[in-house]
Amino acid sequence: DTSVASPAGHGPTPIDIDRIRSLGGALLVTDDPQEAVTESDVVYTDVWTSMGQENEKSDRLDAFAPFTVNSDLMSSAPAEAIFMHCLPAHRGEEVTNE
């Protein structure tokens, strides 16, 4: 089962959602990061602004700010949940120093 939390307009496409669901797994797509981590074994994030998106950085930082992985968000996940990031992490953006 997979949960995806992202701001409106930044989540998986309908085609991606259909493809994932056709494989038989459960998929939750939400704009509420707390909801997404509630039953998660792994909380995973990536950079919010990739190469080639530098001109969108300010807008993306504003849109994704509520999705920062911090101790508050991790406290909504099960106690045994782990955090992962594909690196390099931009501390203070997608993840805090906590």
Identify the CATH number of the domain in which residue 6 sits.
Answer: 3.40.50.1370
pLDDT of res. 19? 92
Rounded-to-integer distance, Cα 29 and Cα 39, Å: 14
Residue 41, CB-side half-sphere exposure with 13 Å CA sphere: 2
The number of distinct structural domains making up the chain is: 1
In a domain, 50, yes or no: yes
- Whether the full predicted model's pTM is greater than 0.85, yes or no, is yes
Residue 42 banded pLDDT, cuts 50, 70, 90 = very high
In a domain, 98, yes or no: no
- Quote the domain boundaries for residue 25: 2-85
Answer yes or no: are the C-beta atoms of 91 and 85 closer than 8 Å. Answer: no
Report the pLDDT value the prediction gives residue 51, as an integer from 0 to 100: 87
Is 79 domain-assigned? yes
Would residue 24 count as lying in a domain?
A: yes
